[in-house]
Amino acid sequence: MAQNGILVEHVYKAFGREAVLEDVSLYIPPGKILGVVGGNGSGKTVLMKCICGFLKPDKGMITVCGKRVGKDVDFPESIGIIIETPGFLPYQSGYRNLKTLAALKGKIGKKEIMEALCQVDLLENRRKAVARYSLGMRQRLGLAQAIMENPQVLVLDEPFNGLEQQGVKEARKLLWAQKNQGKAILLASHNAEDIRELCDEVFPMEV
């Protein structure tokens, strides 16, 4: 059994009679980025939700950082997530949103939150209400939330949505840095250039 990274073994998931995941197996070791590609309805988001513990596979096993999801742990302990549009409290500031989320686990404090905001270039806008953030700024805040607790694994579904060209460049640099720190990263993007620039391997999923 892989002790680190993400291991998916023969996973099946259906909704009613519609099979979305059929015998999916993959492994992402520490320090690697795996790109998942496929059209709408191919199961990318369902796979990510299964890895994060939000959905339970009908068959198969998922292991994250050496612990089986749904057996050893309900949710992986050291994981940063962006799945679909990040949801934040709109009338609280970016900093306050991250502080509220950080309090759930109690692992980090102001220093780590400020560092994460700095890494996504939101430090100057940390006191602004999220309702006044652009789509790109909300996406940056989502990235800050994903990395702020220094997780061993990142699961990122379309993390560059809404980012302007410069923002995409900065976000790619951020993911390269996370990879170089030994993180195992699962990335879904509709942009072929994101996959080509960032990923060590590509896992195609078909509708």
Q: What is the mean pLDDT of residues 81-98?
A: 89
pLDDT at 2: 47
Report the percent of the chain where pLDDT is more than 90: 77
Contact 155, 83 (CB under 8 A): yes
pLDDT at 48: 95
pLDDT at 191: 84
pLDDT at 1: 43
Report the percent of the chain where pLDDT is more than 70: 98
Average pLDDT over the chain reads: 92
pLDDT at 161 over 90: no
Which amino acid, residue 129? Answer: A
pLDDT at 149: 95
Contact 67, 6 (CB under 8 A): no
Q: What is the mean pLDDT of residues 76-99?
A: 90
Describe the strand order of the beta sheet including 18-28 as a list of residue ranges. Answer: 18-28, 6-15, 59-64, 67-68
Helix 135-147 to helix 94-105 angle (10° resolution) is 30
Q: What is the mean pLDDT of residues 11-21?
A: 93
DSSP 14: E
Gap between the terminal Cα atoms of the chain: 30
**DSSP string computed for 65-102:** TTEEBTTTBSS-SSEEEE-SSPP--TTSBHHHHHHHHH
pLDDT at 147 over 80: yes
44-76 per-position pLDDT tens digit: 999 999 999 999 999 999 999 999 999 999 999
pLDDT at 86 over 90: no
pLDDT at 77: 86
Of 83-92, 95-104, 129-138, 155-164, minimum mean pLDDT range:
83-92
pLDDT at 38 over 90: no
Of 41-45, 59-63, 121-125, minimum mean pLDDT range:
41-45
